[in-house]
Structure 1
Amino acid sequence: MNISDQLLLFVASFLANWFSALSGGGAGLIQFPMLIFLGLPFGVALATHKVASVALGLGATVRHLNENTLDRRFSLIILGAGLPGVVLGASVILKIPPSYAQFALGVLTMGLGIYSVFKPQLGLEHSPRNREGRALIGGIAGLFFIGFLNGSITSGTGLFLTMWLIHRFGLDYKRAVAYTLILCGLFWNGTGAIVLGMIGKIAWDWMPALLLGSVTGGYLGSHFAITKGNQFIKRAFEIITILIGLKLIIA
């Protein structure tokens, strides 16, 4: 790649991951289509995007760990339930035509934003629930399904995890976004990148600009979200989910 292409990749990656760190997902809205636009085949772009998304998790982790908001037991539940779904989704996505799944994902993603708009108090207070027994099993099933989406579909699946943590487990937006960026960004996306790298191909020469944009965008977006608080993150989540949903539907 020439210098102008690397610069374009950096700017796109920075913006995508800055917005993603604000709302708890959605970096693929800008970053993944940009890779295809610049010439990567779908499968290569998917694997390359997954690797770059791990850098988003790294940048966000550096900032969010200073807040000490993650519970170890609950983190292990999210990882244990979601990672098998990620592996399964990443193993089958390159064999499935993406058009129907993309349309359905667009409708569901836009629905997340609309649902949040009509629930003014959703995610503004931290009130943990459904952490034991049968209620926890239902939550684990949802985490597995979202993990499958994360492994198979590129755009916006972190937003599903953010909303599930709020709706099912009672987290506020700030905590839900922290769990999503760290556990989904680092571990779910890292697992998906490994699986896709084993069965596909990664464009390593595209990585310098993508990784730099992902780390800096993730860190600065997380810092901005933490300083602004739950109401701001809620609005960012609603705007980005609706935009992503429309983009996926009309693509």
Structure 2
Amino acid sequence: MLFDQLILFVISLIANTLSSLAGGGAGLLQLPAIIFLGLPFSVALATHKVASVALGVGASIKHLKHGQFLPALVLIMIVGALPGVILGANVIVNIPPVISLWALGALTIALGVYSIFKPQLGQSDELKNLNMRGYVIGSIGLFVIGFLNGSLTSGTGLFVTMWLIHWFGMGYGRAVSYTLVMVGILWNGTGAITLGMISQIQWDWLPALILGSLLGGYLGAYLVIAKGNSLVKRCFETLTILSGLSLWFKAIW
């Protein structure tokens, strides 16, 4: 039991440090590891969701001190996305996700490839679409991603990061800070509560997972602020491609 807790902590620390750097993808390592150690998918997903909230808390300690959040963008990430998260969390327990895993895997890999072929993408803050039309379209995009976050969980934070870069013109560093604080705490918290009500949570596994998430979130946030957009971009590209391949692997097995 102690050995399992140590494994969970190490995997959680690595997964959440990388996720905090790239703006998503903690489920790439953490969720499959929980399933491998013996939990059914729905229980593993709910347990992972709760632990992922700690990633947002750990990252927010550093990012909120840095101070770069616009109230309007925070609002649409709540109002636009949370209904999608709740809907997705209710859908996942009833629908086999194989087709969605293949499609989401392909889209996730495409994000990484797109970023690779756009060297200047997200290298600086050039905010745009900060008007009513922009907020409405931005909310629709976030609702769709929120649905994926609630249902499939793995790597959807990466979609939020890219959406914030593409639609609102953020640099990678700023986009990652929004993703980790908003998705990590509010989206995953909502998903965890919803899944906890319709499934169950493996509470005795959470201490190791939460500790790894907290430390990983803080460490990754520190590196984002210290090293800037270039490092974050490379981590994002790596994590998107690996996350997409992981989704395909889960679809096969």
TM class by shorter-chain length?
Answer: over 0.9
Distance 2:8 2:166 in 1: 35
Distance 1:225 1:67 in 2: 11
Alignment of 1:1-251 (within 5 A): 2-251=1-250
Q: Which amino acid aligns with 2:128?
A: R
Give per-residue Cα distances to partners, 1:20-39, cap 9 Å, x unaligned.
00000000000000010000
Give the TM-score normalised by the residue count of structure 1.
Answer: 0.98
Deviation of residue 226 (structure 1)? Answer: 1.3
Distance 1:10 1:208 in 2: 8
Distance 2:88 2:67 in 1: 31
Q: Which amino acid aligns with 1:184?
A: V
Distance 2:133 2:41 in 1: 40
Deviation of residue 15 (structure 1)? Answer: 0.5
Distance 1:211 1:239 in 2: 24
Deviation of residue 170 (structure 1)? Answer: 0.6
SS in structure 2 of the partner of residue 168 of structure 1: helix
Give per-residue Cα distances to partners, 1:150-206, cap 9 Å, x unaligned.
100121000000000000011110000000000000000000000000011000010
Distance 1:153 1:131 in 2: 29
- Flag structure 1 segments of 5+ consecutive residues without an equivalent: none
Distance 1:72 1:133 in 2: 14
SS in structure 2 of the partner of residue 243 of structure 1: helix
RMSD, aligned α-carbons: 0.8
SS in structure 2 of the partner of residue 223 of structure 1: helix
Distance 2:84 2:130 in 1: 20
Distance 2:8 2:62 in 1: 23
Contact 2:76/2:135, CA 8 A, preserved across alignment: no
Deviation of residue 246 (structure 1)? Answer: 1.6
Deviation of residue 133 (structure 1)? Answer: 2.7
Distance 2:154 2:228 in 1: 25
Deviation of residue 135 (structure 1)? Answer: 3.0
- Flag structure 2 segments of 5+ consecutive residues without an equivalent: none
Contact 2:85/2:146, CA 8 A, preserved across alignment: yes
SS in structure 1 of the partner of residue 100 of structure 2: helix
Distance 2:46 2:209 in 1: 13
Distance 1:72 1:131 in 2: 11
Distance 2:137 2:26 in 1: 28
SS in structure 2 of the partner of residue 95 of structure 1: coil
Q: Which amino acid aligns with 2:5?
A: Q
Deviation of residue 224 (structure 1)? Answer: 1.3
Deviation of residue 137 (structure 1)? Answer: 1.6
Deviation of residue 136 (structure 1)? Answer: 2.5
The runs of 4+ residues in structure 1 deviating greater than 3 Å are none
Distance 1:74 1:234 in 2: 22
Deviation of residue 245 (structure 1)? Answer: 1.0
Deviation of residue 134 (structure 1)? Answer: 2.4
